[in-house]
Amino acid sequence: MAAPATPTKTMVVKIGSSTLVHAKTGIDRAFIANLAHQAAELRRMGWNLVVVSSGAIACGAPLLGFERRPHDMPSLQACASVGQCVLSAVYDEEFRSADLLTSLVLLTRHDTARRSSYLHARDALTRLVGLGVVPVVNENDTVTVDEIRFGDNDTLAALVSCLVSADLCVILSDIDGLYTANPALDPTAEFIPRVNKIDAKIIGSAGDSSTAVGTGGMITKIRAARILMTAGVECVIASGAAEDPLVRLAAGEAVGTRFVPPADRLDIAPRKLWIALGDAARGKLTVDEGAAHAVVENGSSLLPVGVTSVEGDFATGDILDICDRAGFVLARGQAEAPSDELKLAAGRHQDEIAQNRLLAALAGKPAVHRDNMIVFA
């Protein structure tokens, strides 16, 4: 492999199944060969590259005789197992031709749900990048039951970007960026080159996936971009069919839609990034307008009095989504009490909680403490 120069920046690229695998012809080897060429050029430009690759199930399905993506879990897992071998072999061959070494990293939520294992994953990826390797990361769909689902690898790309302290995350798809509406359905849809804040309007402009081999849609990419903006990492959604998009982005060209984090998001504590990304939310707290303002604008803890409803069955320390009345996720944090207690405490003032024998342990405590909460950008 080529001796690594002294890369000073790191780029994470997420490649969707619809970009990487074609329903009739299978894996697009030419695309991976071009990706390897771009990786080599990025190395010369001072960039490391980490690849988050979908496509294992889409690769394995035709090899096992499935004409379309199966629906039962054992078949999906079998397809992932076979397809991952094929996919990894092609990455290895094409990147070696470009004098680059790849590695395979398979992750599940179990690997990141605990902070200690999250840090181990971070250390392993950081070491690989430091050794000049191009890690190829995927969800371990062969053993994961609840994560072979819509949009999984968009979130995984955001997680990996935070783990390796990426300077840029690029999500390659079958569309060239974000539009005001789905351009496949609305001819008046306008392209959005830059996003500085993701609000309900931006999320509402996202359409669904229209491909047979993918599981993600624009909405999952927007959610991933929002997490990245919260972490202070720039994100670009671009077309995988564009000419050398990674190299052009590294050179400063405008490609796709760029999501730019606010300046105050450049120094987020690593522990808060784990809260945002390490584990899936186990429940949801809906809050009133006063509590929403206190959390978002004032950086306050969330008090039980501001909670209007509690959903889910969770324990103390579990990760919760904090939403406004419209269902928009404002923040994520760790529960200070289990779900049954918070359901009883919701909407109550502290003095009322203190006088309730069942809730006395919650007296003086928030539902979610600000030190264990991250507010999304």
* Alpha helices (H) along the chain: 17-20, 29-44, 56-63, 73-97, 115-130, 152-163, 200-204, 218-230, 245-250, 270-277, 289-296, 339-345, 350-354
Q: Is 220 annotated as ligand-binding?
A: yes
- Cα separation, 335 vs 284, in Å, equals 10
Check whether 24 is labelled as a binding-site residue. no
218 is in an annotated binding site: yes
Backbone angles phi, psi at 78, to 5 degrees: -65, -45
Q: What share of the chain is helix, strand, coil (3-state, %, to 5)?
A: 40, 20, 40
Q: Is 216 annotated as a binding residue?
A: yes
Contact 322, 304 (CB under 8 A): no
The annotation status of 54 as a binding-site residue, yes or no, is yes
Terminal CA-to-CA distance of the chain, rounded, Å? 40
Q: Which residue has the tokens 């927007």?
A: 222
DSSP helix/strand/coil, 96: helix
Q: Is 173 annotated as a binding residue?
A: yes
Is 14 assigned a ligand-binding role in the annotation?
Answer: yes
Q: Which CA distances in Å does 9 have to 46, 160, 270? A: 6, 15, 19
Q: Is 337 exposed, middle or buried (0-12, 13-18, 19+ CB in 10 A)?
A: buried
What residue numbers does the annotated binding site cover?
A: 14, 54, 141, 153, 173-174, 215-221
What residue numbers does the annotated binding site for ATP cover?
A: 14, 173-174, 215-221
What residue numbers does the annotated binding site for substrate cover?
A: 54, 141, 153
